[in-house]
Amino acid sequence: MIKSSVIRSGNLLCLALFTWLLSAPFTLSAQDTFKGSLTYSINYIDLPEEVAGMSSVLPKEMKMTFSGEMSRLEQNVLGGSQVVVTNNAEGTGFVLMDMMGQKTAIKLSAEELLKEKQKTNDQKVEYVNEKKTIAGYPCQKALITDAESGTTNVIWYTKALNITKHRDYTELDGFPLEFETNQDGMHMVMKVTKVAEHEVEDALFQIPKGYQVMTMDELQNMTGK
């Protein structure tokens, strides 16, 4: 039985990260898709009061791994790790949490991921005539404004990688190598520091042994959400 204190200790942080991670699956084009990994640095510009005291255990980098229709996001947080795996062909996935000795796998159905996708608001994309190079890839600047909140984020994207259509930026003409997220008082800038093309093991997209499997509803009941 998972101790509820493990989840509650990082309640706000974990749910904020879940929101971003669950929104992060990508639609991959059919041919010559990128296989390998991208490593992002994470810079915290502002944090909500409830999380500010936990800054030392916040993730400093995030890794994304792609192979065919599968994608994996992983980062260390609260002295443990969080992983989100998505099967883009089936529209399903799962979350792995390994914190304080407790290993939990949360299965995500197609209906749950579709529900998250439907939360995406209309966006306005303004392309700016500014360019720079990130991790060796040419990037162009774009401003993306959320129609509902009016929040504008700065995105630097590239067309040189065949990974298309981040779910949060479906109107963007490329793949974001640097971008901001500003949600629930957590303002972060993520920037690619390394791009590596390599073979990817199938085991990275499977639930390892030793994890207790539960649903998202069960997790939310434990966190009081």
Q: How many CA atoms lie within 13 A of 148 on its CB side?
A: 4
Return the sign of the alpha-carbon dihedral for residues 61, 66, 69, 74.
negative
CA dist 180 and 183 (Å) reads 10
The predicted-structure confidence for 103-113, as pLDDT tens digits, reads as follows: 999 988 877 77
Give the pLDDT confidence of 78-136 residue by residue, as tens digits.
Answer: 778 899 898 888 888 899 999 888 899 998 887 777 666 665 557 788 999 999 999 99
188 vs 133: CA distance, rounded Å: 20
End-to-end CA distance of the chain: 19
Domain 4-223 homologous superfamily, CATH: Lipoprotein localisation LolA/LolB/LppX (2.50.20.10)
Q: How many Å apart are CA 148 and CA 60, to the nearest integer? A: 30
pTM listed for this prediction: 0.80
Residue 115 corresponds to which tokens in the numbers above?
């529900």
pLDDT higher than 50, residue 6:
no
> By mean pLDDT, which of 12-21, 145-154, 157-166 is the weakest?
12-21
Q: Which two tokens stand for residue 69?
A: 């229709």
What are the pLDDT digits (tens) for 8-33? 444 444 544 544 554 555 554 444 68
